[in-house]
Amino acid sequence: MSLFVEEEDKQPESNNSIPVTFVDQDVIPVFPEREINCALPLKYQQDIVRNTLTKDGLLVLGHGLGWEIITSNLIHALSTPFVNLGTNIKKKSLIILLNANDNELSRLQEELIDLSGGDDDDKLIRIGGETQSHKRSKIYKEGGIISISPMLLINDILSFMISPNDITGLIIFHAERIKEFGNDAFLIRLYRDRNNWGFIKAFSDKPESFVGFTPLATKLKILNLSHVFLWPRFHMTISESFNIRNKKDTVGKLVTEVKVGLTPNMKKLQSLITSVIEGCVRELKRHNSDLDLEYCHVDNIYDDGFADNIKASLQSNWHRLTPISKNLIFSIGFLSDLLGALLITDSIGFYHILNERIEADLILQRTQNRSKEPWLMSDEAGAIKSIAAARVFGTERGTYALEELPKWNELGKLVHDISIEKEKAQEKNCGPILIVCKNKIVASEIVSVLNTMQERKVADRHGFSCRKYMIEKLRTYCEWQNNISPRIKQISEELAGKQSDTGGDVGSSVSPTFSRNGEPRSKRRRTRGGSATAAAVVQSHQQQIKDSTKVDIQVVDELEAEYDQEVAETSIHNDDGDDDDDDEILEFTEIDDDSGIQNGFDFAHIKKEDQVIVEVFDEFWNTATIQELHPSHIIMYEHDLTFLRRVEMYQAINREHPAEVYLMYYRDSVEEQKHLLRIKKEKDAFSKLIKEKAALPKRFDTEADNAKFKIRKPDVVNTRIAGGAKFRTEADEMQVIVDSREFKSSTPFSIYLTGMTVIPSMITVGDYILSPTTCVERKSISDLIESFKNGRLFSQCKQMFRHYRNPILLIEFSNNESFSLQSFSTYRFTRGVKEEVDNDNAVSDKKQVPVQENIMKLLYQFPKLQIIWSSSPQETAQIFLELKSNQEEPNVAEALDKGVNKAITTGDGSPAMYYDAAIDFIMNIPGITVHNYEKVIQQVKNIEELVCLPLERFQDLLGKENGRNAFKFINHEFGV
């Protein structure tokens, strides 16, 4: 009698029938109820945590709205201390944190410790690649909050070290970085395929990064989420939370804008540098008229990382760009940095940055016969250098202007006025003065300026002079110019001279954008001896500038003596004029870290209201840091939207005693434009996301939705038995052994989506093992070029032919790369000779061996090598599926044994694994080749031991000639 009876038979039940029970093997954890205490001082934070707790979704938050407070409280609420598995075994819930950097993890750890009251239940555990497998397995079993890289967790899941059903949930930071075929998407897919009850919560605080067509729907699809929570700064709940009204703020405004005017020279430099950047942008468009350069526009030059964004937009065709186009992008990056340095670096430092770049370009022109950078040929470049020199050395010889930054004077007056206000104030509940800036260099400069500035009165207007600090900077520059700079130039020339044999003159066509007076030099009227005369004039002019900018240490001493005498006279005059006036309101003391070691510690009590604290802020600054300092006045030396929102949170939390905030910025400057542009871009990004959210369709998930995107196996699997072929059906499992290091690419994920089983292993030969006879070495375009340079590809092919019958070289392009190796160039014929020229009529470097020629050399040495060209990782997966259609499955143990020298083992007896980056490094040393590098890594312990070997030892390892070359290279001394 059958155990299964169809309903249509309607047979009467028999008492003798055997009951059938289907038991689901997956055990769904049961979370006990418990009371959770959260610390969320503002209403919008409470609403966000409440929404994200009840539903899985993507949270997009505005800049600086306290993501660390929100996420830490959410993690604290989700990390139930014990989970009942139904087997009388209790364990901690296992929560995985992804994409959080070290600073973010440290801040989360601090917040979790505060929330748990010092309990270890919420302790955050970090797992890196150095953590051994048995330790990782133990940590997984114990549970807790774990931060791990997606690549490592994917390897552990595919190796069955951990089951996705044991993971309580995933918390993903920086959701804007997740790509469709990245490791994050791979991990989410693995998790959802085997775990339907766990949670997934994603966060992002960069709304402007959601770009493209329907970015919100695309991210939700990748994250396998249905809900999205948008919280911009203009959200009504946030606006109400930040709306401060108290007795100290009668008009509802605690922020004072301090607008500082630029000096005439700074205005000229800002205009000139901006003009050169616009010229570079136009020139880049002219050289690449066939490419989509929509972002490359003059309206975007105020964006942070403008050059990086251009490079990212051209990444798909980067390997096809001409050297001139790449140099233009690098020049745009340098000029953008120079424009920012104009506002935060003193005049001496600015001139030093500019002069170093020009000197480096001159060295390359002399040693490698290269042409000058295009932007240096413009009229603006000469004016920029002249004005930069005039800010330091003055317009007349012997006079030193030493122009100071206008913000220094305003900062001194501001601190002075605040200190007077504090003395007159009756309230003694005053905190310190907090001055914040963006980097440590500026912070150190502010401290030095405040320590050395002197008050001056001119026409009944008081101000502060920082000339003493500028003289000290000039002294430092003089020492560098006389002692350090010549050595750097000599070393640079020697290094550049060694490369001159491989480098050639990369010509450049000069467009009207970078020509003198707007026209090419070739169109000028020529005179007899004009070339020599022009060269002499240019050389004489350069020598004049060099002589005028030469600083003598004796001159610096004279300047310092003049300044000290002037200060002494001013001090006597002030003492006679006003005996009651106390010039020194605040005293700044700089603490030397070494003084305590040499002379013992000297402690002094400084009242909290007398303290002036200079701090560096960045995106990782926490509101709790401001709360700990509890300042009475906050001076923002530079604009930053994130920190400004942090201050707003601090003000909203401390409504009774808010701090007075001063925003310093240059009027009509790049600084002001960048700040306004960032606010506008954030608002526009949120507006776009809100419109898209309103049009999002409802999503209903079923089990079929998690099925892999399988190619129909009957189309590729041949079930015909002929010639002794092994019979297999479309239902048979296919396996691919993948090198663990290959999970940095998206190819393993694409293989997984086709339905093949991915087995991660640390194999020595090849990257993918398709069958016992087929091995594949995958190379991206950048890896292919690098492998040809160091000769590693020839060694890899040799190893594959030694162990496998069918070695395959896979040349794989990425999804966003142009499927071509041909650069954007044309050909011209000159006297019957075909020359390759790029689209700006510049002759290409003939000494640069193209990739195609190297491939022909490789095929000449290995005629039986099969090469597969793949346009994307998805195409690679389809090719692998077709190659495996009638082949046997690979054996993991055999794949691990191949290529391993069993005589060399580690301490625990396992075969030794080599570090590829170190091997590539030593193979760049002359004398170490693909034929002898194995001998080096077997007999030399590390790089430190290698560079200390004597000549005889090198010759024993590498041979007489190769050993001499390696020893000479490592022990070469630069003469000074």
List, for residues 502-546, the tens digit of each pLDDT value.
444 444 444 555 655 444 444 444 444 444 443 444 444 454 445
Which segment of 138-147, 163-172, 394-403 scores lowest on mean pLDDT? 394-403
Q: What is the DSSP code string of 124-143?
A: EEE--TTS-HHHHHHHHHH-
Provide the pLDDT for residue 375.
86
Could you give the CA distance from residue 263 to residue 403 in angstroms, rounded to a whole number?
9
Q: What is the DSSP code string of 412-463?
A: HHHHHHHHHHHHH-S------EEEEESSHHHHHHHHHHHHH-EEEEETTEEE
**Which CATH number does 43-242 carry?**
3.40.50.300
Assess contact for 337 and 305: CB atoms under 8 A.
no
Could you give the CA distance from residue 39 to residue 45 in angstroms, rounded to a whole number?
10
Six-digit token pair at 31? Answer: 């979370």
Q: What is the DSSP code string of 499-538?
A: HTTT------PPPGGGSGGGS-GGGSPP-TTHHHHHHHHH
Query: E strands along 762-862, which residues?
Result: 768-771, 774-780, 806-812, 825-830, 833-838
The set of residues, in sequence order, having a beta carbon less than 8 Å from that of 423 and lying 6+ positions away, is: 585
Express each pLDDT in 721-756 by its tens digit: 555 545 455 556 789 999 998 999 999 999 999 889
Could you give the CA distance from residue 888 to residue 879 in angstroms, rounded to a whole number?
16
Provide the pLDDT for residue 292.
72
Assess contact for 186 and 237: CB atoms under 8 A.
no
Q: What is the mean pLDDT of residues 600-604?
A: 59
Which segment of 9-13, 688-692, 850-854, 933-937 scores lowest on mean pLDDT? 9-13
Which segment of 139-143, 281-285, 568-572 scores lowest on mean pLDDT? 568-572
**Residue for token pair 């699809």:** 221
The set of residues, in sequence order, having a beta carbon less than 8 Å from that of 35 and lying 6+ positions away, is: none
- pLDDT for residue 181 is more than 70: yes
From the list 243, 480, 217, the residue with the least C-alpha distance to 359 is 480
Judged by DSSP in three states, 901 sits in: coil
Express each pLDDT in 553-595 by its tens digit: 666 666 666 666 665 666 555 555 554 444 444 555 444 444 4
**Which CATH number does 916-970 carry?**
1.10.150.20
Beta pairing partners, 870: 812
Provide the pLDDT for residue 657.
82
Which segment of 66-80, 207-221, 814-828 scores lowest on mean pLDDT? 814-828
Assess contact for 476 and 346: CB atoms under 8 A.
no
Task: Spell out a b/e string for 526-563, using b for 16 or more CB atoms within 10 Å of the CB, else e.
Answer: eeeeeeeeeeeeeeeeeeebeeebebeeeebeebbeeb
Percent of the chain, pLDDT > 90? 31
Could you give the CA distance from residue 310 to residue 288 in angstroms, rounded to a whole number?
13
If one counts every other C-beta atom within 10 angstroms of the C-beta of residue 854, the result is 17
Q: What is the mean pLDDT of residues 290-310?
A: 80
Provide the pLDDT for residue 12.
45
Provide the pLDDT for residue 95.
94
- pLDDT for residue 10 is more than 70: no
Provide the pLDDT for residue 797.
92
Could you give the CA distance from residue 369 to residue 506 in angstroms, rounded to a whole number?
9
- pLDDT for residue 694 is more than 50: yes
SS (HEC) of 294-356: CCCCHHHCCCCCHHHHHHHHCHHHHHHCCHHHHHHHHHHHHHHHHHHHHHHCCHHHHHHHHHH
- pLDDT for residue 5 is more than 50: no
Q: What is the mean pLDDT of residues 276-286?
A: 89
From the list 160, 164, 161, 131, the residue with the least C-alpha distance to 148 is 131
Name the phi and psi angles at 868, rounded to 5.
-115, 130
CATH class, 713-719+727-897 region = alpha beta
The CB-side HSE value for 354 (13 A sphere, CA atoms) comes to 29
CA 764 to chain centre: 31
Provide the pLDDT for residue 87.
54
Six-digit token pair at 236? Answer: 């009504």
**Residue for token pair 């700079």:** 485
- pLDDT for residue 548 is more than 60: no
**Max Cα–Cα distance, the chain, nearest Å:** 121
Q: Which has the higher per-residue pLDDT, 889 or 530?
A: 889
Six-digit token pair at 385? Answer: 């250098």
The CB-side HSE value for 428 (13 A sphere, CA atoms) comes to 1
Computed over its alpha carbons, how large is the radius of gyration of the chain?
A: 34
From the list 245, 234, 231, the residue with the least C-alpha distance to 45 is 231
Same fold, 43-242 and 916-970: no
Could you give the CA distance from residue 7 to residue 9 in angstroms, rounded to a whole number?
5
Could you give the CA distance from residue 940 to residue 951 in angstroms, rounded to a whole number?
14
Output the CA–CA distances (angstroms, integers) from residue 749 to 198, 311, 753, in the order listed. Answer: 21, 26, 6
pLDDT band at 679; cut points 50, 70, 90: very high
What's the one-letter identity of residue 197? W
Which segment of 1-10, 190-199, 474-483, 701-710 scores lowest on mean pLDDT? 1-10
- pLDDT for residue 236 is more than 70: yes
Query: E strands along 128-244, which residues?
Result: 144-147, 169-172, 199-204, 227-231
Q: What average pLDDT does the structure give for the chain?
A: 78
- pLDDT for residue 23 is more than 50: no
Q: What is the mean pLDDT of residues 100-110?
A: 88
Beta pairing partners, 464: 455
pLDDT band at 624; cut points 50, 70, 90: confident
Enter the pTM of the model.
0.79
DSSP state of 780: E
Provide the pLDDT for residue 688.
95
Name the phi and psi angles at 811, rounded to 5.
-100, 110
Q: Where are the domains of the chain?
A: 43-242, 713-719+727-897, 916-970
Could you give the CA distance from residue 519 to residue 725 in angstroms, rounded to a whole number?
73
If one counts every other C-beta atom within 10 angstroms of the C-beta of residue 711, the result is 17
Assess contact for 710 and 754: CB atoms under 8 A.
yes
- Strands 735-739, 768-771: pairing is antiparallel
**Residue for token pair 């010092």:** 118
Beta pairing partners, 96: 146, 170
Q: What is the mean pLDDT of residues 874-888?
A: 89
